[in-house]
Amino acid sequence: MVFELWEDHEQVVHVRDDTVGLRAIIAIHSTALGPSLGGTRFRPYDNERDALVDVMRLSRAMSYKAACAGLPLGGGKAVIIGDPATDKSDELFAAYGKAIDSLSGRYVTACDVGTYPADMAAIKTRTPWATGSPVEQGGSGDSGILTAWGVFVGLRKAAEFRWGSNDLSDARVAVQGLGKVGGRVVEHLLEAGASVVVADVDAARVAAAAEHPDVEAIGVDEILFADVDILSPNALGAVLSADTIPAIKAKVVCGGANNQLAMDEDAKLLADHDILYAPDYVANAGGIINIFGELEPGGWNEEVAHRRTDAIADTLQEVFDLATSEGVTTEEAAERIAEERMAVRSGPDRWWHAGREDARA
Ligand code: NAI
């Protein structure tokens, strides 16, 4: 019964420490290519089942993301059940860090929704298996910077595949969400000469973006259906669904938001509506590529991380070509590429422990 629920996960760990109010679940989907890496989400889930379903869905996506990005990493994710506004404490993160440490590097954590670099620093007091601290403290800094760059690189590649040119100067692009990723995607698009339509629930962010003459602001309920060439979702998951897809006018979708498809079948629906979809975990891999640098012997190097993020264009080309030649959706093509890579174990443990033991010393 429990194993059925786990589906294809290698290990799922429930962590409880009543003295500090900690209830967490760490899900390791795969370590076939290396130690599992994925952020810790801190959320007041309605119940434990919702938390378990969320963490397993997210950890599987991390395996595919790392494999498609060509990184020697597996997929994992963790959730802490609680309200990030009221339930955080150094003691809670220390207890959580102890739990991570007990996995001896099979799971490495990072920031996610509800967790920030300061929280990673608190976790790091008990384990070396935490990333995402500021550059000044030897970390890789804000992963949103390279995530946004990777999304932009992906947008150009998708435009090239769709229309034969990656020149975006005549393109009109709708950007949903103006946060760490979406805000920077807008900047890259404007630099490339595109005109941009934006929406965010945060009115101040919209007002700041709309100061640019090539930016038009529209309502949050309209952005998905704007009359544009390209749609870039950079806010929420599940925005591409049977309800929304028939009304989407864009012919390319490429954004940074995780889990954009509401259901697996929605990939087929997009194709049926002649919309080219850049799978989210391929397009938004800039963040994990950035973090990976922290784990390498020698540490994070901005230039190397940037170069690796540029390669998202090559991965997308591979995905689009495979989808075309096999007559499958782009989502299915990306899954096949990831699963093929995961099927070949590359013996990463030795490499991994060599790097981290240095860090512990
Ligand atoms: P963020 O929290 O900085 O920005 C999200 C933005 O979306 C905020 O400005 C928020 O006001 C806006 N938003 C929320 N609900 C909205 C709605 N209904 N309509 C329009 N806007 C709405 O988050 P960040 O880091 O920019 O992440 C954006 C997406 O990219 C998320 O789905 C995240 O999981 C994903 N992602 C982020 C990575 C990173 O390195 N930051 C890496 C990979 C994926």
Q: What is the mean pLDDT of residues 330-349?
A: 83
Which residues, 6+ apart, have CB-to-CB distance to 301 below 8 Å? 293
pLDDT at 305 over 80: yes
Q: Which residue, among 92, 74, 75, has the nearest Cα to 83 in the 3D structure?
A: 92
Strands 36-37 and 107-108: parallel
- Digit-coded pLDDT (tens) for 50-83: 999 999 989 999 999 999 999 999 999 999 999 9
Rounded Cα gap, residues 143 and 321, in angstroms: 29
Whether 282 and 261 have beta carbons less than 8 Å apart is answered as no
State which of 151, 180, 197, 289 you would mutate to test the pocket of ligand 1, scoring each by most atoms of that ligand within 8 A of its C-beta. Answer: 180
Whether 232 and 175 have beta carbons less than 8 Å apart is answered as yes
- Digit-coded pLDDT (tens) for 83-142: 999 999 999 999 999 999 999 999 999 998 889 888 998 999 999 999 988 788 778 888
Share of the chain above pLDDT 90, in %: 84
pLDDT at 3 over 70: no
| Burial letters 265-281, b for 16+ CB under 10 A, else e | ebbbbbbeeebbbbbbb
Classified as helix, coil or strand, 202 is: coil
Ligand 1 atom index nearest CA of 202? 11
| Domains, the chain | 3-65+72-134 (3.40.50.10860), 144-286+312-328 (3.40.50.720)
pLDDT at 21 over 80: yes
Phi first, then psi, for residue 51 (nearest 5°) are -65, -40
Q: How many helices (H) and strands (E) does the chain have?
A: 14, 12
N-to-C CA span, the chain: 42
pLDDT at 282: 98
pLDDT at 212: 98
Residue 361 pLDDT grade (very low, low, confident, very high; cuts 50, 70, 90)? very low
Rounded Cα gap, residues 260 and 151, in angstroms: 14
Whether 77 and 49 have beta carbons less than 8 Å apart is answered as no
User: Residue 83: is it exposed, middle or buried by C-beta count within 10 angstroms (0-12/13-18/19+)?
Assistant: exposed
Q: What is the mean pLDDT of residues 7-34?
A: 95
Ligand 1 atom index nearest CA of 235? 7
What is the residue whose two structure tokens read 């404490």?
89
Structure tokens, 44: 């007041």
Whether 195 and 214 have beta carbons less than 8 Å apart is answered as yes
Read off the pTM. Answer: 0.91
State which of 181, 202, 224 you would mutate to test the pocket of ligand 1, scoring each by most atoms of that ligand within 8 A of its C-beta. Answer: 181
Q: Which residue, among 245, 193, 196, has the nearest Cα to 224 in the 3D structure?
A: 245
Catalytic residues: 77
pLDDT at 39: 95
pLDDT at 353: 44
- Digit-coded pLDDT (tens) for 243-271: 999 999 999 999 999 989 999 999 999 99
pLDDT at 344: 80
Q: What is the mean pLDDT of residues 158-182?
A: 97
Q: Which residue, among 248, 303, 299, has the nearest Cα to 270 in the 3D structure?
A: 248
How many other CB atoms are found less than 10 A from the CB of residue 211? Answer: 7
Mean pLDDT of the chain, nearest integer: 93
pLDDT at 1 over 60: no
pLDDT at 347 over 90: no
Ligand 1 atom index nearest CA of 182? 26
Q: Is 59 in the pocket of ligand 1 (CB under 6 A)?
A: no
Per the model's pLDDT, the better-predicted residue between 344 and 250 turns out to be 250
pLDDT at 360: 34
Q: Is 208 in the pocket of ligand 1 (CB under 6 A)?
A: no
Q: What is the mean pLDDT of residues 223-251?
A: 97
- Digit-coded pLDDT (tens) for 135-163: 887 788 889 999 999 999 999 999 999 99
pLDDT at 328 over 70: yes
